[in-house]
């Protein structure tokens, strides 16, 4: 089920012409941001066999949602942002990550980034770029010290859809209690 909600700002990030979908089977929310498309109309169309969502833009383009491998001739942008995590039993412990592995299919070119609680809103620090189609190992990747952190993967695709399986943390060093 999808909901069209207009423009929404979450933690400093604005999503224009926003649609949200919740998948019961995976219990995952997906946010669709159609900021560049300038969608002015969105309808459900029954072609006699299936019900499809059809969008019209301010420039006169018409297209079906959730079909094809491009967004009106532009690459499809995707972004996965994990929730805030501490990775230890105490939030007050300062720590860092040294080494990660990203498991995907068809995601070469995807960028891995992170944000700590000390980073300004919507500012992300780079870890590395996924260069392999499947498992991307970053044994020397390191983060700044943090109490809480969240990870972000993003990129563009024009071909086969990407499949994201997960991120493994190879090593976390606990530094001790945060000092004022």
Domain boundaries, the chain: 2-67, 79-177
Three-class SS state of 169: strand
Beta bridge partners of 53: 44
Q: Which of 24, 69, 32 is nearest to 159 (CA)?
A: 69
Three-class SS state of 94: strand
List pLDDT tens digits, range 17-52. Answer: 677 778 787 777 777 776 666 667 777 888 888 888
pLDDT of res. 127: 93
% pLDDT > 90, the chain: 19
Strand arrangement, sheet containing 51-57: 39-46, 51-57, 62-64
């Amino acid at each position: 089920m999808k909901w069209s909600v207009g423009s929404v700002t979450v933690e400093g990030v604005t999503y224009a012409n926003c649609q949200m979908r919740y998948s019961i089977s995976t219990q995952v929310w997906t946010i669709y941001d159609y900021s560049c498309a300038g969608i002015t109309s969105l309808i459900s169309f029954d072609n006699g066999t299936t019900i499809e969502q059809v969008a019209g833009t301010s420039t006169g383009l018409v297209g079906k949602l959730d079909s094809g491998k491009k967004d009106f001739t532009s690459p499809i942008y995707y972004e996965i942002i994990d929730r805030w995590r501490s990775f230890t039993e105490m939030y007050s412990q300062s720590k860092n990550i040294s080494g990660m592995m990203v498991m995907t299919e068809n995601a070469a070119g995807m960028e891995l980034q992170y944000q700590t609680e000390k980073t300004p809103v919507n500012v992300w620090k780079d870890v590395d770029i996924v260069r392999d189609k499947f498992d991307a190992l970053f044994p020397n990747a390191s983060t700044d010290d943090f109490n809480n952190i969240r990870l972000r993967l993003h990129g563009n695709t024009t071909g086969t859809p990407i499949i994201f399986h997960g991120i493994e943390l190879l090593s976390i060093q606990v530094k001790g209690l945060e000092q004022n």
